[in-house]
Structure 1
Amino acid sequence: MKRLLNTLYVTTPDAYLSKDGTNVVISSQQKILFRMPIQNIQSIITFGYQGASPGLMRLCSENGVALSFFTTAGRFVARVQGPQTGNILLRRSQFQNAGDTDYCRRLASSFVLAKIHNARMTLRRFVRDYPSDEGVSAVADAAESLKNMSRLIIRSVSVDEVRGHEGQAASIYFGVMHHLILNKDRCFAFARRVKHPPTDCVNAMLSFGYTLLAHDCGAALEGVGLDPYMGVLHSVRPGRMSLALDLMEEFRSWLVDRFVISLINTRHIRASDFTPAAGDGAVGSVSLTEDGRKKYLTMWQNRKKTEIIHPFLQEKVPIGLLPHIQALLLTRYMRGDMSDYAPFLVK
């Protein structure tokens, strides 16, 4: 089993990454802020504009450490990737299967059914924990509607039909999310999901979490030898990690949405932790401040260390390893070792 190592998040905008022997060194204004042995790091995510030395990039490449660059607002910029060492036979099978429309439909359906199931569990948990809340009736109705959407997806005959039902399910789910937010601070008012760019605090937190999750899923797929860019549910386009986006569908509600709602309801994140994303190419966009990102990432790391019983393997594992486990199960399915893919389904 893969060992859960540290993800190093660099949030200081003017930080520069370099190497000293086998250590990763973080500096700002020619002063060393932090150093850590590369052997203790699984991936590095940096939010800034100073960049990294070629020596550090080579060190990361040689040690299989994913190095990703984001803007200070959390928008993906680039990813450093070393030589591909994946099983060529596995990738050949992956590309061959991508041309099989029925195979793509079945796998896409698995991802979306898991997404809807886990979203229903999020809504049902609210109904259970807050039976007297004024929004409980609407949330319960939405959970039942999602159950009906699952039946439609099972009967779908194409990937396009699956995508259509997935979009409807997402609309139902996000249509009642505001009821789950018990902190009624005006900053956390939520009307609908807005992606590009996020125009309010809740959408900014959701987008930030999805970005982190996509990074983890992409690294997990590469780690087992799959091409994260060849997806089945999300259309394939240059520079888009379509399969990573497919895989993360299972985790969106259970891992990111519940995490964001918890941060808001427990008041760990406040209105002062947000700022207009000036200079990020979008008018009206909102993003976390540097201090806000630090709070978010600290609790995100702690969340990833929490152990659960994996519903399929029935083994205790850290949440941070879930993308790697699902990537392994996906390879077994693609090799023909499993008759069906076993998505992550919350109980």
Structure 2
Amino acid sequence: MKADGEALVFYENGERVGTVPLAPLSRVFMRGDVTVSSSLLGKLGERGIGVVVLSGRKAVPTMLLGRPHNDAARRVAQYRLSLDPDFCLRFSRAIVEAKLRAQAAFLGERRESEPRSRYLLTLSLKRLSSSITAVDQQATIASLRGVEGAGAAAYFEGFADLLPERLHFCGRNRRPPRDPVNAVLSLGYTLLHAETVLALYGSGPTPSSASIMRSTSHANRWPVTWSSHCGWRSTSMH
């Protein structure tokens, strides 16, 4: 890929095969063996266009961020709040509850349109309802993550019953995903994670400080991102 004026130009075997204007772009995702010119990277950075490289069999994302937002006061406020345990717990409860409610809403909609799955979906919804009720009763982030995990297990049990048996989906697994559905879910979460990092970086907050996932190894890199996109993960799989 190269820059040509105000366009992104694609080459294959030395021949020009496509062109995309830079103006409408907000993100560029690359997968596979792609060569990118330094002038193109500079031009994308000048325009605040993030670049996400998905590498290897697991599509591990590497992000090249555009020009950051210059509102230092916003980041100072974020740092201050991230050190307030009461705020972090309240904020985390709100995120987890939003996620669980979104999952319950999806299963509730499908229960009405999928008679064969109605019984299992009803059971999953009861368990999700219990998890939602338990959110405000949690006094620590660790126990809140346990509630979130229980809700996720209930959700995926109902979700699995909606899918054809030939997809061999029996629940969430990853690194690497062992069936087509988990492969799609993992890719979707990876893309959503990258989108969240880039959106946060461009609007002011730093992705390196947050509340809910601070102690998990993967989230240590971008904890605010995990906090921010947890509430949207359930909608991304629909």
Query: What is the Cα deviation at residue 111 of structure 1?
Result: 0.8
Equivalent in 198, 201, 224 of residue 243 of structure 1: 224
Report the counterpart of residue 147 of structure 2 in structure 1. Answer: 165
Retained in 1: the 8 A contact 2:61–2:190? no
Structure 2 counterparts to residues 295-314 of structure 1, below 5 A: none
Structure 2 counterparts to residues 45-84 of structure 1, below 5 A: 45-71=29-55, 73=57, 75-84=59-68
Where in structure 1 do 4 or more consecutive aligned residues deviate above 3 Å?
A: 236-239
Retained in 1: the 8 A contact 2:63–2:194? no
TM-score by length of 2: 0.92
Query: What is the Cα deviation at residue 101 of structure 1?
Result: 0.8
Query: What is the Cα deviation at residue 105 of structure 1?
Result: 0.7
Equivalent in 99, 109, 124 of residue 83 of structure 2: 99
Retained in 2: the 8 A contact 1:25–1:36? yes
Report the counterpart of residue 130 of structure 2 in structure 1. Answer: 148
Retained in 2: the 8 A contact 1:217–1:248? yes
Q: What is the aligned length?
A: 236
Report the counterpart of residue 111 of structure 1 in structure 2. Answer: 95
2:220, 2:147 → 1: CA distance? 26
Report the counterpart of residue 343 of structure 1 in structure 2. Answer: none
Report the counterpart of residue 211 of structure 2 in structure 1. Answer: 232
Residue type of the partner of 1:257? M
Structure 2 counterparts to residues 246-285 of structure 1, below 5 A: 246-254=227-235, 256-258=236-238
Higher helix share: 2
Query: What is the Cα deviation at residue 239 of structure 1?
Result: 7.0
Retained in 2: the 8 A contact 1:198–1:204? yes
Query: What is the Cα deviation at residue 22 of structure 1?
Result: 2.2
Report the counterpart of residue 218 of structure 1 in structure 2. Answer: 197
1:213, 1:51 → 2: CA distance? 24
The SS at the match of 2:23 is: helix
2:106, 2:64 → 1: CA distance? 35
List alignment gaps of at least 5 residues for structure 1: 1-16, 259-347
The SS at the match of 2:8 is: strand
List alignment gaps of at least 5 residues for structure 2: none
Classify 1:83/1:40 alpha carbon distance in 2 versus 1 (closer, same or farther; 3 Å). Answer: closer
TM-score by length of 1: 0.64
Residue 118 (structure 2) pairs with residue 136 (structure 1): yes
The SS at the match of 1:191 is: coil
Query: What is the Cα deviation at residue 40 of structure 1?
Result: 1.6
The SS at the match of 1:40 is: coil
Measured on the aligned residues, the alpha-carbon RMSD in Å equals 1.8
Retained in 2: the 8 A contact 1:108–1:159? yes
Equivalent in 182, 205, 210 of residue 203 of structure 1: 182
Residue 12 (structure 2) pairs with residue 28 (structure 1): yes
Classify 1:177/1:65 alpha carbon distance in 2 versus 1 (closer, same or farther; 3 Å). Answer: same
